[in-house]
Structure 1
Amino acid sequence: MRFKGLDLNLLVALDALLTERSLTAAARSVKLSQPAMSAAVARLRDYFRDDLFTMVGREFTPTPRAERLAPAVREALLHIQHSIISWEPFDPTQSDRCFRIIVSDYVTLVFFEKVMERVAQEAPAITFDFRPHTDDNDDLIRRGEVDLLILPEMFTSNAHPRARLFEDVHVCVGCRSNKLLSEPLTFERFMSMGHVAVKFGNTQRPSIDEWYLNEHGHKKRIEVVVQGFSMIPHMVTDTQRIGTLPLRLARHFAKTIPLQIVELPLRLLLPFTEVAQWPALHDNDPASLWMREILFQEASRMVSPLTTAEPLVDRTDVVSLNSQIASWPGL
């Protein structure tokens, strides 16, 4: 079928080529033969009067015109999928939907346990595909290739809807035998100690605390780099190294690992909020609405770590911590 001279089937082929960057893989993804996909490329080039792709090695590299077309083509196809094709009501008790969620190991460990329990009871056939944060989170959510993205509010995009889930605060962790943590931690001692740091993606993006230090001209003495927060407790055990963790996660690991939890120096107390973000085109999708409602309900039941009766460490009560945050002057 043609719309103003364009065969709309070609948009499916173009989207596959932009995603796969390979003629063979693109043909396979839309169930076309390789000659048929080659013919589609020729017709696309003829219609748009542009090469659209050039070969760099064995990869199809989009031209600037193709790059500009990519978001519009993906948005059009997603709109058709969610507004026209996926018209049936969502029944969680019968659905076998797989939710693709970009989420850190931290949020998985401290939050998703209750979510999974709820889903197992209400929608036993629903499955999850938890994916790590990458360098192209924004592109994946724009293209609708993931259903949800959960990350600190300060790192979210304004291009898609979002909602707050829960709050946390960073703390310093080390081995219980680490005598350097027996006294209140000064900024100077914190910076001079060896650190275990977590970095994300191929570009090695830092976590919030390291990002904040870098923004203010300070650099940690990093001895070990790990791929996720859950590796930090194991890397500080039986060493003099320290790490920075969200308080909820630190308490989670302190139940099974000889972990000492201490306050960060005043200027590094970093309260933050985890938020859920989803593709704009999923805003009214019944399945997405159902999943988001479960997330929001379970998040509302989480007690703030700053108001819990459990003390942060033996020598400091919660009132002191809250007052320090309220008067925090920054760096």
Structure 2
Amino acid sequence: MRFNGLDLNLLVALDALMSERNLTAAARSINLSQPAMSAAVARLRTFFQDELFTIAGREFIPTPRAESLAPALRDALLHVQLSIISREPFEPAQSDRRFKVILSDYVALVFFEKVVERAAREAPAVSFEFRPPGDDTDDLLRRGDVDLLILPEVFASNTHPRAGLFDDVHVCVGCTSNKQLEEPFTFERYMSMGHVVVKFGNVRRPGIEEWYLLEYGHKRRIDVVVHGFSMIPPMVSGNERIGTMPLRLAQHFAKTIPLQIVELPLPLLLPFTEAVQWPALHNSDPASLWIRELLFKEASHMISPPGAAEPHMHRISTGPDPLTCDRRT
């Protein structure tokens, strides 16, 4: 079909090339032969009077013109998909939809595991694909390449819809044999000890507590950097290192690992909210509405963050606020 001289099928080919950055993979993704995809590239170059891609090895590198076309092209194809092709009602019991979800190991263990169990009862053929937090989440949401992104609300984008799910607090964890965690566990001692910290994605985005410390001009001693919260408990076991992680996950691991959990001596580090985001174009998509409702139902059963008076936690005496007294300008 042509529209103002452009074969609209070529837009599907261009979108595939922008996504895959490889001729063979792009052709396979839209069921074209490699010669047919090569011909589509030639026709696209002629129509737009631009090379659109340069080739480096087997990778197609988009030109500035192709990059400028990509957002509007993807939005247009998603509108067609969601508004015209996929408008039939979503029937969970009959669906074999696979939901792609970006989330941390923390969220998977303390929350989404229950969502999967609930989904299995309502929609036994529905499946899930988990992806770790990365550096391109905004682009994946914009392109509709993922269905859900779950992350601390403080890091959420303002360009996509979002809703809060549940709250938690950060705590300090160490081995039960770690005598340095005995009271009084001060800010100075916390900063001087060896830390196991989590950093996300290729750019190594810090966790909330690291962002908080850097914001106030403090740098702690980091012994080990890991890519998931679930790696912290084994890394502090049997030694004097400590880690900072969400309380719900710390309590999860304390059932099987000798883990001591104490309050953080960071008075201004408030409870945080885990939120869910989804592509704006999925706002009215029946499948997206169903999975979001499932999340909200499960989140309603999450009690408020447990207080510091748990049997295996002790309250920390910090004295004057170490951050507000020593903030760098």
Whether the 8 Å CA contact 2:10–2:44 is kept in 1: the answer is yes
CA positional deviation for 1:36: 1.3
Q: Over residues 143-202 of structure 1, what are the superposed CA-to-partner deviations in whole Å (9 max), with x where a residue is unaligned?
A: 111000000011111111110000111000000000000113211111110000111111
Whether the 8 Å CA contact 1:262–1:312 is kept in 2: the answer is no
CA distance in 2, matches of 1:184, 1:40: 69
* Paired residue secondary structure (2:188): helix
State the one-letter code of the partner of 1:243.
G
Whether the 8 Å CA contact 1:82–1:282 is kept in 2: the answer is yes
- Alignment-derived partner of residue 89 in structure 1: 89
State the one-letter code of the partner of 1:161.
P
CA distance in 1, matches of 2:301, 2:131: 25
- Alignment-derived partner of residue 315 in structure 2: 316
Q: Summarize the alignment of residues 2-21 of structure 1 with structure 2, pairs less than 5 Å apart.
A: 2-21=2-21
CA distance in 1, matches of 2:270, 2:152: 12
CA distance in 2, matches of 1:43, 1:136: 30
Q: Summarize the alignment of residues 19-30 of structure 1 with structure 2, pairs less than 5 Å apart.
A: 19-30=19-30
Q: Over residues 42-71 of structure 1, what are the superposed CA-to-partner deviations in whole Å (9 max), with x where a residue is unaligned?
A: 111111111111112331110111001111
State the one-letter code of the partner of 2:217.
G
* Structure 1 gap ranges (5+): none
- Alignment-derived partner of residue 118 in structure 2: 118
Q: Summarize the alignment of residues 1-331 of structure 1 with structure 2, pairs less than 5 Å apart.
A: 1-267=1-267, 269-306=269-306, 311=310, 313-316=312-315
Whether the 8 Å CA contact 1:209–1:270 is kept in 2: the answer is no
TM-score, scaled to structure 2: 0.93
* Paired residue secondary structure (1:111): helix
Q: Over residues 310-331 of structure 1, what are the superposed CA-to-partner deviations in whole Å (9 max), with x where a residue is unaligned?
A: 62745439xx99xx99xx9695
State the one-letter code of the partner of 1:225.
V
Deviates more, 1:32-41 or 1:145-154: 32-41
State the one-letter code of the partner of 1:311.
E
Whether the 8 Å CA contact 1:170–1:244 is kept in 2: the answer is yes
Whether the 8 Å CA contact 1:172–1:261 is kept in 2: the answer is yes
Whether the 8 Å CA contact 2:54–2:63 is kept in 1: the answer is yes
State the one-letter code of the partner of 1:59.
E
State the one-letter code of the partner of 2:271.
P
Whether the 8 Å CA contact 1:209–1:268 is kept in 2: the answer is no
CA distance in 2, matches of 1:87, 1:163: 24
Quick one: percent identity of the two aligned structures?
72
Whether the 8 Å CA contact 2:54–2:61 is kept in 1: the answer is yes
- Paired residues, what number? 324
Whether the 8 Å CA contact 2:102–2:146 is kept in 1: the answer is yes
CA positional deviation for 1:215: 2.1
Whether the 8 Å CA contact 2:262–2:313 is kept in 1: the answer is no
TM-score, scaled to structure 1: 0.93
CA positional deviation for 1:267: 3.3
Q: Over residues 282-316 of structure 1, what are the superposed CA-to-partner deviations in whole Å (9 max), with x where a residue is unaligned?
A: 100111101100101111111111459x6274543
Deviates more, 1:12-21 or 1:47-56: 47-56
CA distance in 1, matches of 2:151, 2:233: 21
Whether the 8 Å CA contact 1:147–1:288 is kept in 2: the answer is yes
* Paired residue secondary structure (1:106): helix
CA distance in 1, matches of 2:311, 2:143: 42
Whether the 8 Å CA contact 1:267–1:329 is kept in 2: the answer is no
* Structure 2 gap ranges (5+): none
Closer, same or farther: CA 138–314 of 1 in aligned 2, 3 Å? closer
State the one-letter code of the partner of 1:48.
F
* Paired residue secondary structure (1:83): helix
Q: CA RMSD in A?
A: 2.1
CA distance in 2, matches of 1:202, 1:58: 22
State the one-letter code of the partner of 1:245.
M
Q: Over residues 190-218 of structure 1, what are the superposed CA-to-partner deviations in whole Å (9 max), with x where a residue is unaligned?
A: 11100001111111111111121122222
CA distance in 1, matches of 2:184, 2:102: 36
CA distance in 2, matches of 1:264, 1:307: 12
